[in-house]
Amino acid sequence: MTTVTKYKTTPLKCWQKGKELRLEAYRDLATGHEQGKLMVLGCAATPYGMLAGLGDFVFLAGEPYGASVAADPPVSIPAMETYEARGYARDMCGYMRNFLGTMFQDKYYFTGGPFPKFDFAWSVRHCPAGHPKWHQIVSEYQGIPMNYIDDETMLATDGEQQSRIDYVAGQYLDSIEWMEKITKRKYDDEKGIEAMRNYFINEGLWGEINLLNGAIPAPLDIKSMFALMPISMLRRHEKVAIEFLTELRDELKERIANQIAAVPTERYRMCMLTPPPWSFLKVFRYLENYGVVFVGTYVYLINSGEVKFLYDKGTVVPAIPPEKRPGWKTMKNREDLCRTVAQWRAEHPFQSHLETRKKEYVIMFKHWKANAYLLLINRGCVPMTTSMYDFQRDLNKQGIPTSMFEGNFADCRDIDETGVLDRLETFLEGQGIQKIQD
The CA distance from 205 to 232, in Å, is 9
**E strands, 12-158, where?**
38-42, 57-61, 120-124, 146-149
What is the closest distance, in whole angstroms, from the C-beta atom of residue 422 to other proteins in the complex? 7
Kindly state whether residue 426 participates in binding other proteins, applying the rule CB under 8 A. Answer: yes
Q: How many residues does the chain have?
A: 438
Asked if 239 and 198 touch (Cβ cutoff 8 Å), the reply is yes
Asked if 93 and 75 touch (Cβ cutoff 8 Å), the reply is no
What is the closest distance, in whole angstroms, from the C-beta atom of residue 407 to other proteins in the complex? 8
Q: Which of 238, 405, 409, 411 binds other proteins (CB under 8 A)?
A: 405
Q: Which of 223, 358, 425, 436 binds other proteins (CB under 8 A)?
A: 425
**E strands, 86-140, where?**
120-124
Give the C-alpha distances (Å, rounded to integers) separating 220 from 212, 227, 259, 371: 9, 11, 12, 17
Q: What is the dihedral of CA 224, 16, 49, 164, to 10 degrees?
A: -10
175-234 residues near other proteins, rule: CB under 8 A: none
Kindly state whether residue 355 participates in binding other proteins, applying the rule CB under 8 A. Answer: no
What is the closest distance, in whole angstroms, from the C-beta atom of residue 435 to other proteins in the complex? 10
Helix axes 354-367, 388-397, angle to 10 degrees: 50
| Residue 139: exposure state from Cβ atoms within 10 A (0-12, 13-18, ≥19) | middle
What is the closest distance, in whole angstroms, from the C-beta atom of residue 433 to other proteins in the complex? 12
Q: Which of 213, 429, 433, 438 binds other proteins (CB under 8 A)?
A: 429
The CA distance from 152 to 346, in Å, is 9
What is the closest distance, in whole angstroms, from the C-beta atom of residue 389 to other proteins in the complex? 8
Q: Which of 352, 406, 417, 436 binds other proteins (CB under 8 A)?
A: 406
The CA distance from 381 to 386, in Å, is 9
| Stretch of 236-244, 347-355, 363-371, 424-432 contacting other proteins, by CB under 8 A | 424-432
Q: Which residues pair with 378 in a beta bridge?
A: 407
Q: Which of 20, 177, 254, 422 binds other proteins (CB under 8 A)?
A: 422
Kindly state whether residue 390 participates in binding other proteins, applying the rule CB under 8 A. Answer: no
| Stretch of 199-207, 208-216, 265-273, 418-426 contacting other proteins, by CB under 8 A | 418-426
Kindly state whether residue 423 participates in binding other proteins, applying the rule CB under 8 A. Answer: yes
| Stretch of 29-37, 60-68, 175-183, 421-429 contacting other proteins, by CB under 8 A | 421-429
Closer residue to other proteins in complex, CB, 2/35 = 2
Peptide bond before residue 217 is cis, with ω within 30 degrees of 0 = yes
Kindly state whether residue 416 participates in binding other proteins, applying the rule CB under 8 A. Answer: yes
| Stretch of 166-174, 255-263, 308-316, 416-424 contacting other proteins, by CB under 8 A | 416-424
For 211-228, b where at least 16 C-beta lie within 10 A, e where not — what string?
bbbbbbbbbbbbbbbbbb
Kindly state whether residue 290 participates in binding other proteins, applying the rule CB under 8 A. Answer: no
Closer residue to other proteins in complex, CB, 358/423 = 423
Count of residues in contact with other proteins, rule CB under 8 A: 13
Give the C-alpha distances (Å, rounded to integers) separating 299 from 114, 268, 384, 406: 31, 21, 9, 18
Asked if 71 and 48 touch (Cβ cutoff 8 Å), the reply is no
Handedness of CA 91, 96, 98, 103 (dihedral sign): negative
| Stretch of 2-10, 276-284, 344-352, 427-435 contacting other proteins, by CB under 8 A | 427-435
What is the closest distance, in whole angstroms, from the C-beta atom of residue 180 to other proteins in the complex? 51
What is the closest distance, in whole angstroms, from the C-beta atom of residue 430 to other proteins in the complex? 4
| Stretch of 80-88, 92-100, 149-157, 423-431 contacting other proteins, by CB under 8 A | 423-431
Where on the chain is the footprint of other proteins (CB under 8 A)?
1, 389, 405-406, 416, 419, 422-423, 425-427, 429-430
